[in-house]
Structure 1
């Protein structure tokens, strides 16, 4: 079975395709349109976007032109930090629906744990009740933020998306999420493109005759993490999915664990909100 057909069940009973297409920094009109069309043609069923990416209208056009039925596509979007007030979040949800030209969003995440995160969550819960959103989750939340939310929420988050790759393995956060039945989602899985420079990754790429990108994707996929690699090149979309014909051994995983810890994106504990 293709990795594109593998799904993971949320704690609310909904399912998310484990392998999706990230669209961060895909904002050129033609390139974004072409890559979305190519991804859908290749069998991708999961598209991850966000308000701040500025590409939701382009994604809407590509989805419409692809003629793939809406119910077959899983769409994730996120509420940006400046919209985390209660009323602001309600307006942001309607704006996402309008930009994507859809009647419901499969998954909406709080993009970063700002001081107004609880207000944002309340508005998201109401949007679930109103059937505007099917599932709600988190992005870049640390354990302390999640613990606070769990004490104050009516609906439990289904997922947490955060920087997670062989050079930033976050075993404490991964275990906490798994213990609390919250799905783990990796962004930056390819070490933000730096996987080609990491010796341990290159060793395994040579061993399995795979690309360094495929090694990192396999590392995340076989641990059950949702992954959303992006590419502006259609042939890379296919290559990224070709990770089912090998598996990393315990020895391989131990080798990857020796990579010095490296965070490429912002630190949620020191983010300028």
Structure 2
């Protein structure tokens, strides 16, 4: 991967702009899909306690033959590890299941009431070298601003729902003001919208010899948003990575922005 395929976090760590999401993957078949993604060129693999598949991600990374330092592993602590001691325990569990000495990015999965306590555990793990970067997930702007009031370390990433129908420009602006990068889960809407058949994306895809999916990802990446698409098909995996040879114009981006609804498709937020 070349430099333009990474973003630099507020602590200098470089994170791939396009990662591979794993939330539906389980068992041996799931492990094979992760191995396929790594073979296709993905170097960021996104998992979580909640997904119940950190073990197969760890196995795939170990079996891939790719040096550990070349792979960026993200995982998240969920509500079963809400609290300082429970979060400390959760970090050790993740390290064990992932078969690694360190996690590249560790997030708090939701804005739990105990998020501040959990973040103390993340901060300690970061300072001890068990984690290279720390952050949060699914925090809206109000929750984020309240959260960072008591943070020794500003979160490096906020991973949130973001796609062409829910661009969240104001949230990104708030995050960037304080040094936090935005990363998009559900860049293809998880089937909630017929994004691959969206006429605007299809027309631009035809113009640039790209798929609607590639245009949808390029739209976000070009505006400084990292993305975590999912696919179990090798051809689509490769297509989702192959977006860095295209530059959308300001007019193209304005066209796509017409798709904005300002509404979550998953009911996570009250922006």
| TM-score range relative to shorter protein | over 0.9
Distance 1:130 1:245, change over 3 A: closer
- Cα drift, residue 125 of structure 1: 0.9
Cα deviation digits, residues 164-195 of structure 1 (max 9, x gap)? 11100111101111222211111111222431
1:148-227 equivalences in 2 (<5 Å): 148-193=146-191, 194-227=194-227
CA distance in 2, matches of 1:5, 1:213: 20
Q: Which moved more, 1:106-115 or 1:191-200?
A: 191-200
| Cα drift, residue 198 of structure 1 | 2.6
CA distance in 2, matches of 1:71, 1:5: 19
In the alignment, is the contact (CA less than 8 A) between 2:154 and 2:179 conserved in 1? Answer: no
Task: Count how many residue pairs are aligned between Structure 1 and Structure 2.
Answer: 268
Partners of 1:92 and 1:220 lie apart in 2 by 32
Alignment map for 1:75-114 (pairs within 5 Å): 75-114=73-112
Partner of 1:16: 15
Distance 1:158 1:181, change over 3 A: same
1:85-116: per-residue Cα shift (whole Å, max 9, x none)? Answer: 11111111111111111111111001110111
TM-aligned CA distance change 1:158 to 1:183, over 3 Å? same
Q: Distance in 1 between matches of 2:80 and 2:146?
A: 21
Give the 3-state SS of the residue equivalent to 1:13 in structure 2. coil
Query: 2: CA distance between counterparts of 1:67 and 1:265?
Result: 37
Contact kept in structure 2, 1:31 and 1:232, CA below 8 Å: no
Residues of 2 paired with 1:92 and 1:33: CA distance? 22
Give 1:197 deviation, angstroms.
3.6
Partner of 1:57: 55
Moved over 3 A (4+): 2-5
Q: Quick one: which of 140, 153, 157 aligns to 1:142?
A: 140
- Give, in whole Å, the separation in 2 of the partners of 1:55 and 1:196: 28
CA 1:56–1:138: 2 relative to 1, 3 Å: same
DSSP-derived class of the 1:134 partner: coil
* Alpha-carbon distance change, 5 to 37 in structure 1, aligned in 2, over 3 angstroms: farther
CA distance in 2, matches of 1:4, 1:212: 25
For residue 4 of structure 1, report the CA deviation from its aligned partner. Answer: 8.7
- Distance in 2 (CA, whole Å) between partners of 1:66 and 1:167 is 36
Q: Is the 8 A contact 1:26 1:232 kept in 2?
A: no
TM-fit CA distance, 1:64: 1.1
Equivalent-residue separation in structure 1 for 2:2 and 2:259 (angstroms): 26
Instruction: Supply the distance in 2 between the matched residues of 1:85 and 1:112 (Cα, whole angstroms).
Output: 13
- CA distance, structure 2, for counterparts of residue 95 and residue 67 of structure 1: 23
Is the partner of 2:133 in helix, strand or coil? Answer: strand
Distance 2:242 2:199 in 1: 22
Q: TM-score, normalised to structure 1's length?
A: 0.92
User: So what's the TM-score if we normalise by structure 2?
Assistant: 0.93
Q: Distance in 2 between matches of 1:80 and 1:211?
A: 35
User: Unaligned stretches of 5+ in structure 2?
Assistant: none
Residue 223 of structure 1 deviates from its aligned partner by: 1.2
1:245 matched to which residue of 2?
245
String of CA shifts for 1:219-269, please: whole Å, max 9, x gaps. 011112111111111221111112123222111111111115142223234
